[in-house]
Amino acid sequence: MSDRSSSGGLAAVLWDMDGTLLDSEKLWDVSLEALAEHLGGTLSTEGREAMVGSNMAHSLTILFDDLGLSYTPADLSTAGDWLRAKTAELFDAGLVWRPGARAALDMVGRSGMPMALVTNTERYLTERALGTLGRDRFGAIVCGDEVKLGKPHPEPYEKAADLLGLRPADCLAIEDSSTGTAAAEAAGATVLVIPCAVPVPAGPRRVQRHSLEGLTLDELRAIWMPR
């Protein structure tokens, strides 16, 4: 049963996937480094950090630039297919939850508050993660290839809120990256930031927390800021 009327305004939780719910940024580390090697180079730390939270197309341009390689759209497409296959293999071999993530999803789910999954990762790979995450938990799932402009643009969060029949401002987004946080903030949501791979700068509608462990519904309600 929905708890919306008594929640003091917070109507839904919008979850990022990679680095927030799943420790999948480590798997992306492996597949991106393998792709760099396949292309004859080595990915720099700065290059990898610039990709955290980004989508496939943007990450590939960062990678080619980082390796000092020129590229055509066909090169990007071929590299994308390679990266997709390699990452799928790693997702299938074993996804690991971020600390406290499964309990936090269970906790919000039990309250009846709607939840959405909002990821820059494409549907093809997201589908492989939904078995671990539990597809039925989410009232809406928005993937990177289902929007015109991925994070840091607000469109994925706007679309997810819309699919739940809400305004982004009614929602709390939970993110681990600067890119994702910028997207949720631009959409008008409050953001709970739980950094994973890279620190995230502070901001007026951002609250930082070390991990998802011990998170309660009361805390989520208290973090949410009306707009």
* Smallest distance, Mg ion to C-beta of residue 177, A: 5
Residue closer to Mg ion by CB (options 35, 193) is 193
- Report the residue number, 53 or 144, with the smaller CB distance to Mg ion: 53
Q: Could you count the other beta carbons within 10 Å of the beta carbon of residue 17?
A: 25
16/11 Cα distance (integer angstroms):
17
Q: Of 16 and 158, which CB lies nearer to Mg ion in the complex structure?
A: 16
Nearer to Mg ion by C-beta: 16 or 170?
16
Residue number of the CB atom closest to Mg ion? 19
User: Contact positions toward Mg ion, by CB under 5 A?
Assistant: 16, 18-19, 53, 176-177
Least spacing, CB of residue 24 vs Mg ion, in Å: 8
**Which residues, in sequence order, are bridge partners of residue 219?**
none
41 neighbors 146 (Cβ within 8 angstroms): no
Q: Which amino acid is at 111?
A: S
Strand segments, DSSP code E, in the chain are: 12-15, 115-118, 140-142, 171-175, 190-193, 206-208
Q: Are 15 and 98 in contact (CB under 8 A)?
A: no
Nearer to Mg ion (CB atom), residue 7 or residue 121: 121
Q: How far is the CB of 40 from Mg ion (least distance, A)?
A: 29
Minimum distance of Mg ion from residue 75's CB (angstroms):
26
Beta bridge partners of 159: none
**Beta carbons of 206 and 223 less than 8 angstroms apart:** no
Least Å distance, CB 146 to Mg ion, is 17
Q: Which is nearer to Mg ion, 53 or 154 (CB)?
A: 53
What does the alpha-carbon distance between residue 14 and residue 191 come to, in Å, rounded to a whole number? 9
Question: At closest approach, how far in Å is the CB of 151 from Mg ion?
Answer: 8
What tokens were used for 147? 């929007």
Q: Determine the 3-state secondary structure of 2 from DSSP.
A: coil
